[in-house]
Amino acid sequence: MSKGELQRMVKARQLPAKAIEITTNEAERAALAYRFDLPAVGSLNAEISLEEDGKAVLARGRLQAQIMQSCAISGEEFPVSVDEPVLLRFIEEGTIDPTLSADEEIEIELSGEDCDEIEYSGDAFDLGEAVAQSLGLAIDPYATGPNADAARDKVGIVTDDTPSGPLAAALAALKKD
């Protein structure tokens, strides 16, 4: 197994009684910033409790991070706070449907109460990688910074809320005052 940016291996058969606290160091934060194309990750902390769930391991906790993100409109960097619940289920490889071949796709619909399932092989799973993936999912790829409206105005971009185009002009002409 290759070492990820935030590797924290946990033995599935010897779960700790206390919650696992994950705190990142400077090198891990720099690697995560590079992975997620962020200007910086200032902090990333998670506290995760693990419990047996049949043959699976249920991970429940909270992820908190301070990141710098680039505005999707202006490109300007701005700070973002991430505070997300974490609910994951680690399952042994092949548990989802052992009859499927490697090239077959499966489609699973999750409800709001369902948690993501992460397969692992061997006797341990990487809780750190799961936390890193949770951070990646929490990042808004279209986040706009505090000066986004000014940048839009400067180049003449109208917001999605403002009707524009020939149809909007025709309808506006029909509107009675």
DSSP 147-170: THHHHHHHHTPPPTTS--SHHHHH
Which residues are registered as beta bridge partners of 120? 92
Lowest mean pLDDT across 103-107, 129-133, 160-164, 171-175: 160-164
Q: What is the pLDDT of residue 93?
A: 84
Residue 109 in this model has a pLDDT that exceeds 70: no
Per-residue pLDDT band for 1 (boundaries 50, 70, 90) equals very low
pTM of the predicted structure, to 2 decimals: 0.76
The total number of residues shown for the chain amounts to 177
